[in-house]
């Protein structure tokens, strides 16, 4: 051991093993950093407890040969925790503490550690083994005090989750026991008895069950051989790395690299190595204000595990910041920056040089992959803060197998932003936003080449809040060379108040095989604007399921304005535009403008049955055309709207139609056709 003013240095020249024991470090009260190195050629395996009695001191553990944390590893330190397989630790601008055994080259200093340095061509790994704990003591785990930091810097990093069995506790804090089950697997409940011990039945002949103090039925408990109730056990997964309101930093480094200890100066030039978080591992910096999770590496895998930076009080949150060559979210991976207080939520940034992929869901791993920044909708606007941003950037962004991005989009800074060469959502993947009250921000997807939604959804909804404040819906903006919606994919905007504009811009835009664009407006508010603009072609194609643009309004809401503009606009095989005004607001203004041709052709008729309260009815679909209608019977009902077609050629054939009618007291619509050459009907 060596001391240098505010720092204490420890050296072990052999393998350091802690198996279910405690290792305690101590020193003068003025020590700010405890620096421990293992300079032998062996990996350190730590399966016990590391303690420091020095108040506020940070702890550094370095072994260039590698470090393994067992399932029972834990910390009891007051400061931050740093573990690394670096070859040296830089001290300020001039000091050096070597970890490779060449202690004669040490230049000790009272300056605080400033960087981890890697020289070896293949930096060693750090592993958190996870698995079932030997005990369920809350002290176990790599946990630091509130506001402190956990830093893991190595070659590869592997983190698996610890777990243990404990008796389940109900919502009222009471222990839960196993119930007796009937032949169908349902719990059996205790029945009330009369003074003769006979079961009590109600007027319908059904048994009257006993109720507990909370009004819940009391189950009959299963007993063990000693006639004691059998505890109902559950599996709990404590956080693998916990730094409430602080920081967790994971960096997978390559050779000849120096990595700053300051998280604001983490400029990793070459992203190398693999960071793999799996098996219900949890990294948690949630607190009154969510902390920071910073991850940098070559390949990053989040598999059946979670990254949490949630905000519970009035403190603004931090960020989840991931940078890698490739990012994979699998088997129920979860990134959460949700807010439950008045502080601003944390931001989520994912930047990958090659790809961001959210995939894989199975019966074994049924949970969906989810990136979320939502607020508690049971709270009013004054009770909950603004949500953070979700920003994804890569060459390829792919969400599949029910993976989703979810946000309340609450606040001027809140937004979902995706930027890539190609963005692909398929197999029930989704982007969802739902907000009660307040102002929403935008969803933007920008791709150099392609945006494709295949059997997936893009949903934006806004409602009045608990305090009846009108919502201001955010806007949706899509821009790419080619944009495809197919196989029942949908964009839907539900707005209760103002806002809710939708813009789609591309070289080609297509909605095929049942893909839909839907808007719903309620209450009063300004009309939203929908623009689909293609440089060459815009296509809606129906076939078995009718692709369509469907717009609806109720109450005092105004219908949106719809502008479709391209060289060629085509609605074929049962595709249609429908505007339905069920309230008192203004009808839709629909404009179709084409440099060359507007064509509505080829009905593809289908029929089926629908069972409702009035019985069985036959339904028919597959008509190609445009329908404007108003339905309200109230005095002052809104009109059906207006339609303008403007093109060199306008073609309606094979049963295609234009309808503008009233089914109530409102006025029917007005239709105009401006052609430069011919109309074909």
Q: Is residue 1 pLDDT above 60, yes or no? A: no
Say how far apart CA 7 and CA 479 lie, in whole Å.
Answer: 55
Q: How confident is the model at residue 261 (pLDDT cuts 50, 70, 90)?
A: very high
Is pLDDT larger for residue 144 or for residue 174?
144
What's 385's DSSP letter?
Answer: -
3-state secondary structure of 265: helix
Mean pLDDT value of segment 215-235: 93
What's 14's DSSP letter?
Answer: S
Q: Retrieve residue 116's tokens.
A: 């981890």
Render pLDDT for 411-447 as a digit per residue (tens, 0 to 9): 666 689 999 999 999 999 999 887 765 566 689 999 9
Q: Is residue 482 pLDDT above 50, yes or no? A: yes
Q: Retrieve residue 603's tokens.
A: 């009905």
Count Cα atoms within 13 angstroms, Cβ side, for 309.
32
3-state secondary structure of 500: coil
Q: Is residue 142 pLDDT above 70, yes or no? A: yes
Q: Retrieve residue 410's tokens.
A: 């609450």
Nearest one of 596, 597, 579, 578 to 588, comparing CA atoms: 579
Q: Which helix (H) or strand (E) holds 391?
A: strand 390-393
Is pLDDT larger for residue 333 or for residue 542?
333
- The full set of domain ranges for the chain reads 2-122, 178-231, 475-681
Q: Are the CB atoms for 591 and 560 separated by under 8 Å?
A: no
Task: Give the pLDDT of residue 466.
Answer: 45
Task: Give the pLDDT of residue 555.
Answer: 81
Nearest one of 394, 474, 392 to 439, comparing CA atoms: 474
Chain centroid to Cα 183, Å, comes to: 40
Say how far apart CA 409 and CA 386 lie, in whole Å.
Answer: 8
Close Cβ partners of 452 (under 8 Å, ≥ 6 residues apart): 422, 423, 424, 425, 426, 483, 484, 485, 486
The Cα-based distances of 212 to 180, 228, 419 in angstroms read 17, 20, 55
Q: Is residue 470 pLDDT above 90, yes or no? A: no
Mind spelling out the 3-state secondary structure of 410-457?
ECCCCCEEEEEEEEEEECCCEEEEEEECCEECCEEEEEEEEEEEECCE
Say how far apart CA 573 and CA 513 lie, in whole Å.
Answer: 10
Close Cβ partners of 543 (under 8 Å, ≥ 6 residues apart): 512, 513, 514, 573, 574, 604
Say how far apart CA 453 and CA 445 lie, in whole Å.
Answer: 12
Q: Retrieve residue 374's tokens.
A: 């939502």
Q: Retrieve residue 92's tokens.
A: 């300020």
Render pLDDT for 378-407 as a digit per residue (tens, 0 to 9): 555 556 778 899 999 999 999 999 999 998
**Do the strands 390-393 and 416-426 form a parallel or antiparallel pair, or are they unpaired?**
parallel
**Taking CA 246 as the corner, what is the angle to CA 245 and CA 250, rounded to the nearest 5 degrees?**
135
Q: Is residue 185 pLDDT above 70, yes or no? A: yes
Q: Is residue 465 pLDDT above 80, yes or no? A: no
Find where tokens 């679909």 sit.
621
Render pLDDT for 264-291 as a digit per residue (tens, 0 to 9): 888 777 789 999 999 999 999 999 999 9
Q: Is residue 213 pLDDT above 90, yes or no? A: no
Q: Retrieve residue 482's tokens.
A: 């080619």
Is pLDDT larger for residue 388 or for residue 22?
388
Find where tokens 């785990």 sit.
141
Nearest one of 434, 408, 420 to 492, comparing CA atoms: 434
Say how far apart CA 240 and CA 305 lie, in whole Å.
Answer: 10
Render pLDDT for 580-592 as a digit per residue (tens, 0 to 9): 888 787 888 999 9
User: How does the average pLDDT of the chain come out, rounded?
Assistant: 86
Say how far apart CA 14 and CA 25 lie, in whole Å.
Answer: 18
Residues 263, 269, 273, 277: what is their CA dihedral angle, to the nearest 10 degrees?
30
Residues in a beta bridge with 275: 157, 300
The Cα-based distances of 183 to 186, 188, 210 in angstroms read 7, 10, 21
The Cα-based distances of 441 to 289, 462, 470, 619 in angstroms read 21, 11, 15, 39
Task: Give the pLDDT of residue 586.
Answer: 82
Task: Give the pLDDT of residue 442.
Answer: 83
Say how far apart CA 680 and CA 599 lie, in whole Å.
Answer: 9
* Number of helices and strands in the chain (H, E): 0, 53
Nearest one of 185, 297, 312 to 252, comparing CA atoms: 297
Residues in a beta bridge with 658: 626
Render pLDDT for 627-646 as a digit per residue (tens, 0 to 9): 888 877 777 677 778 899 99
Q: Are the CB atoms for 422 and 459 separated by under 8 Å?
A: no
Mean pLDDT value of segment 562-587: 91
Say how far apart CA 283 and CA 300 lie, in whole Å.
Answer: 14
Task: Give the pLDDT of residue 498.
Answer: 74
pTM of the model: 0.90
Task: Give the pLDDT of residue 677.
Answer: 60
Say how far apart CA 318 and CA 337 lie, in whole Å.
Answer: 9
Task: Give the pLDDT of residue 623.
Answer: 84
Q: Is residue 678 pLDDT above 60, yes or no? A: no
């Amino acid at each position: 051991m060596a001391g240098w003013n505010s720092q204490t240095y420890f050296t072990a020249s052999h393998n350091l093993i802690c198996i279910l024991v405690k290792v305690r470090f101590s020193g003068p009260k003025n020590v700010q950093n405890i620096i421990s190195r293992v300079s032998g050629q062996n990996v350190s395996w730590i399966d016990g407890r590391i303690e420091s009695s020095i108040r506020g001191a940070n702890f550094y553990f370095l072994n260039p040969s590698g470090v393994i944390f067992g399932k029972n590893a834990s910390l009891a330190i007051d400061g931050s925790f740093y573990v690394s397989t670096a070859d040296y630790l830089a001290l300020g601008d001039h000091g050096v503490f070597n970890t490779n055994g060449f202690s004669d080259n040490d230049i000790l200093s009272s300056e605080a550690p400033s960087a981890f340095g890697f020289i070896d061509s293949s930096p060693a790994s750090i592993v958190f083994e996870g698995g079932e704990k030997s005990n369920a003591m809350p002290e176990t785990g790599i946990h630091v005090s509130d506001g402190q930091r956990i830093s893991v810097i190595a070659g590869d990093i592997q983190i698996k989750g610890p777990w243990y069995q404990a008796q389940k506790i109900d919502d009222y804090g009471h222990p839960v026991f196993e119930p007796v089950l009937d032949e169908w697997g349902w719990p059996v409940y205790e029945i009330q008895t009369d003074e003769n011990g006979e079961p009590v039945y109600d007027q319908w002949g059904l048994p009257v069950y006993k109720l507990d103090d909370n009004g819940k039925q009391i189950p009959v408990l299963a007993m063990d051989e000693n006639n004691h109730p059998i505890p109902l056990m559950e599996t709990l997964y404590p956080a693998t790395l916990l730094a409430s309101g602080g920081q967790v930093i994971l960096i997978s480094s390559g050779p000849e690299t120096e990595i700053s200890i300051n998280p604001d100066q983490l400029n990793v030039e070459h992203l190398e190595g693999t960071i793999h978080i799996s098996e219900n591992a949890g990294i948690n910096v949630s607190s009154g204000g969510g902390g920071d999770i910073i991850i940098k590496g070559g390949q990053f895998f989040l598999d059946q595990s979670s990254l949490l930076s949630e905000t519970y009080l009035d403190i603004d949150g931090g960020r989840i910041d991931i940078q890698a060559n490739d990012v994979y979210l699998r088997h129920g991976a979860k990134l959460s920056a949700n807010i439950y207080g008045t502080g601003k939520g944390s931001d989520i940034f994912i930047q990958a040089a090659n790809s961001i992929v959210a995939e894989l869901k199975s019966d074994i791993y049924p949970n969906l992959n989810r990136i979320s920044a939502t607020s508690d909708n049971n709270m009013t606007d004054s009770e909950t803060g603004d949500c953070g941003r979700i920003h994804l950037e890569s060459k390829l962004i792919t969400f599949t197998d029910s993976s989703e991005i979810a946000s309340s989009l609450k606040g001027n800074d809140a937004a979902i932003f995706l930027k890539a060469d190609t963005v692909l959502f398929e197999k029930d993947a989704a982007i969802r936003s739902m907000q009660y009250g307040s102002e929403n921000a935008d969803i933007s997807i920008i791709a150099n080449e392609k945006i494709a939604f295949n059997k997936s959804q893009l949903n934006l909804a806004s409602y009045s809040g608990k305090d009846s404040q009108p919502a201001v819906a955010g806007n949706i903006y899509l821009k790419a060379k080619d944009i495809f919606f197919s196989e029942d994919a949908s964009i839907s905007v539900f707005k209760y108040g103002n806002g809710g504009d939708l813009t789609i811009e591309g070289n080609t835009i297509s909605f095929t095989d049942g893909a839909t664009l839907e808007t719903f407006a309620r209450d009063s508010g300004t009309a939203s604007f929908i623009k689909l603009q293609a440089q060459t072609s815009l296509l809606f194609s129906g076939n078995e399921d009718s692709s369509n643009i469907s717009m609806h309004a109720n109450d005092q809401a105004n219908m949106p304005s719809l502008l479709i503009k391209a060289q060629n606009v085509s609605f074929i095989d049962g595709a249609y535009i429908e505007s339905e005004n069920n309230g008192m607001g203004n009808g839709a203004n629909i404009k179709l403008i084409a440099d060359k041709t507007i064509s509505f052709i080829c009905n593809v008729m289908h029929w089926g049955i629908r069972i409702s309260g009035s019985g069985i009815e036959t339904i028919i679909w597959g008509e190609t055309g445009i329908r404007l209608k108003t339905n309200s019977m109230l005095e002052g009902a809104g009109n059906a709207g207006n339609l303008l077609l403007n093109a060199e050629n306008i073609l309606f054939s094979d049963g295609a139609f234009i309808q503008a009618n009233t089914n109530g007291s409102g006025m029917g619509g007005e239709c105009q056709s401006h052609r430069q050459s011919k109309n074909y009907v």
